[in-house]
Structure 1
Amino acid sequence: MTKLPGAAKLPGAVRVPSAVIAAGGLVGGYGVARWTGKRQLGGVVLAAAGAAAARRWRRQAGGPAAGALGVAYVAAFAGSHPLARKVGAWPSVCGVAGAVAALSWAVADRNARR
């Protein structure tokens, strides 16, 4: 397990895969928006997780891959809205989050140094 920079004070700290960050941003952003009734607050969660995932993608897979994954993240967010009309909100969000996580793992996490 890889320790985070400066994590000497936290033995056992591990790096969270970018797939988890990205999926968590989509699910967490929706959950926060739904439970607080404040869409802007959900957007903050979505954007913060997207930025964190993008930094990891760039470090692990390079700029072009990070750009493509960023587009996929935004497209998943946008695509979850019309999909929700057909399958429901939570199934839609979970489905697009799973797709982004799988893509992120395949492109950036699978071959990342541990």
Structure 2
Amino acid sequence: MATAAATPLRIPSAAVAAGAAAGGLVGGYGIARWTKKRPLGGVALAAAGAVAARQWQRTGGTKTAVGLSAAYVAAFAGSHPLAKKIGAWPAVLTVAGAVAAASWTVTRRAAG
């Protein structure tokens, strides 16, 4: 019996970048909180940020990568004062959503 070759799943690069950015913010916080080792959360945050930045550079070029990387770092920094107002998890989820939306919007526009 002959089988058809499976078509590889193509995930849009905008989705990969948005997921890496949001995942880095949420994952970094989660790791830091659950392990009680903030540097370990920072490693996860930085690694996911590097993956996202590489994807942003591939999709939109250097200016896009620099701009969205700045937004990523600003979101991380901004989550701290926001957490004092709305709580830690809501703050992290809010900034992760904002970065993911910005990433999706900018990289889709750059790729299309």
Query: TM-score with structure 2 length normalisation?
Result: 0.86
1:16-73, CA deviations, whole angstroms, 9 ceiling, x for partnerless residues?
5210110000000000000000000000000000000000000001100110000000
Matched, 1:96 2:95: yes
Q: In structure 1, give the amino acid aligned to 2:23.
A: G
Which sections of structure 2, spanning at least 5 residues, go unmatched? 1-6
Which sections of structure 1, spanning at least 5 residues, go unmatched? 1-10
* Contact 1:21-1:49 within 8 A present in 2 as well: yes
Higher helix share: 2
Deviation at 1:109, TM superposition (A): 3.5
1:79-98, CA deviations, whole angstroms, 9 ceiling, x for partnerless residues?
00000000000000000000
Structure 2 counterpart of 1:85:
84
Structure 2 counterpart of 1:8:
none
Question: Equivalent residues in 2 for 1:17-56 (5 A)?
Answer: 17-56=16-55
Residues in 1 aligned to 2:47 and 2:29: alpha-carbon distance in whole angstroms: 13
Q: Which structure would you say has the larger Rg?
A: 2
Structure 2 counterpart of 1:65:
64
CA RMSD of aligned residues (A): 1.7
Structure 1 counterpart of 2:104:
105
Query: TM-score with structure 1 length normalisation?
Result: 0.84
The size of the alignment, in residue pairs, is 104
Runs of 4+ in 1 over 4 A off after TM superposition: none
SS at match of 2:111: coil
Residues in 1 aligned to 2:74 and 2:19: alpha-carbon distance in whole angstroms: 17
Q: In structure 1, give the amino acid aligned to 2:84.
A: R
Q: What is the aligned-residue identity percentage?
A: 64
Residues in 2 aligned to 1:79 and 1:105: alpha-carbon distance in whole angstroms: 20
